[in-house]
Amino acid sequence: MSSSHLSPSRVRNVRPWSATGTNAVDIAIEDGVITAVTPSSHEIATKPLPDEYDGRGLLALPGLVNAHAHIDKSWWGLPWQSYGGEGTTEGRIRHERARRGEIGMPSVEITTRVLDQLVGHGTTAIRTHVDVDLGIELRGIDAVREAASSFGDALAVQIVAFPQDGVLRRPGVLALLERAARDGVEHIGGLDPATIDRDPVGQIDAILGLSAEHGVGVDIHLHDPAELGVFQIELILDRVERLGLQNRVNIAHGFAVAQIDAGHRRELLARMAALDVSMTTVAPLRLPQLPLHELDEAGVAFAFGTDGIRDLWSPYGTGDVLGIAWQFARASSLVHDDDLRRVMEIASGASAGFVGLPTNRLHVGDRADIVLVDAENTMDVLVRTPPREAVIANGRLLLG
């Protein structure tokens, strides 16, 4: 898929995802941008021109957005790797460190295969965490950049320099994160400041201090539950306010938000919204889901991600963000059309800002990230997760 160079001037005979009827439209594209959406001409000219793509009456969606992936550490395409090591966070870190060299991670070849897999699922924009530690230093970032470059400007890929093994407890990691920031990564990460580094104030001050100094975003993994997790979120919010980092910080996972009482959650979400602190979720099983309606009412930006994709942490994970959206909706007991449509918005163009792009609704002026599926409507797409028939990213046909 990464080798395709076809850039159609028009996608003919598709049904817009936001329409209530069945009338088909043609979508004109120029330089990767939608320039017109007009009633379909498929009845007048039955055969598309050579530089047109025949949508065959399929439903057109904006490209899907994977706002939390780890594309640098998969074993996709290798022989089956049996699960081993301990099941705790520390245990998974140790197991990965012990075996990643044997598997050859990080790898440009494997990462390219993972990106191909994501494209096949309709993903056109990705925020990926990439491990940075004393063993591999910044080589994972180099591998991801090289893999992404094979797609030219079709895929939007942003990198989070991610200290999976901790920040302060491993002297030298903070300097690596600073190097990554100077070298142009879009974000730097952190991980459970209280339980990994056992110094929440120290890690949060260090990470957000680098953000303030170098102008990069922050995307911090926060698994700690209930009051311990909220305590760390509040520390982050204090620093965002003090350092002027509004619209630059994301809380990944943030299980604690769903585990505190409703009154406390309302206050926390209101403060997050005021400081433009966003959230991402991978819709974990066996845990309460982040509350969609409360996030929307507060105005907290919210996106889905696939997390690990068949890696040494877990053999699960296909890279299909639509599957994560389905899991979130099902686990949240969302059944009404408005809610199902909202989940699809979050899985696609409404979350484009998480990868530095404008919102995509398939309107004139939007980036030409278009996914075609054989489905009746948007709700049908979510509950049935049909195959992606065609994927156009920034005006380039990558699948179809």
Q: Which residue has the tokens 């994970």?
A: 317
Cα separation, 30 vs 247, in Å, equals 31
The Cα 370–Cα 78 span in angstroms is 30
380 contacts: CB under 8 Å, gap ≥ 6: 386
- Dig out the tokens for 224 from the structure: 């700690």
Q: How high is the mean pLDDT of the chain?
A: 95
Domains 10-63+361-399 and 64-355 share a fold: no
Model pTM score: 0.96
Peptide bond into 106 cis (omega under 30): yes
Cα atoms found within 13 Å of the Cα of residue 287, Cβ hemisphere only: 19
Structure tokens belonging to residue 301: 């930006």
Query: Per-residue pLDDT averaged across 101-128, rounded?
Result: 96
Average pLDDT of the residues in 141-159 = 97
Contacts of 102 (CB under 8 A, 6+ apart): none
Contact 277, 65 (CB under 8 A): no
CATH superfamily of 64-355: Metal-dependent hydrolases (3.20.20.140)
- Could you tell me the residue ranges of all domains in the chain? 10-63+361-399, 64-355
E strands in the chain? 10-16, 25-30, 33-39, 52-54, 59-62, 64-69, 123-131, 156-162, 187-191, 217-222, 249-253, 278-281, 302-304, 370-373, 388-393, 396-399
Q: How does residue 43 score in pLDDT terms, banded at 50, 70 and 90?
A: low
For the domain spanning 10-63+361-399, the CATH number is: 2.30.40.10
Q: What share of the chain in percent tops pLDDT 70?
A: 96
pLDDT tens, residue by residue, 8-42: 999 999 999 986 666 899 999 999 999 999 999 76
Nearest Cα residue to 189 out of 162, 170, 169 = 162
pLDDT (tens digit per residue) in 199-228: 999 999 999 999 999 999 999 999 999 999
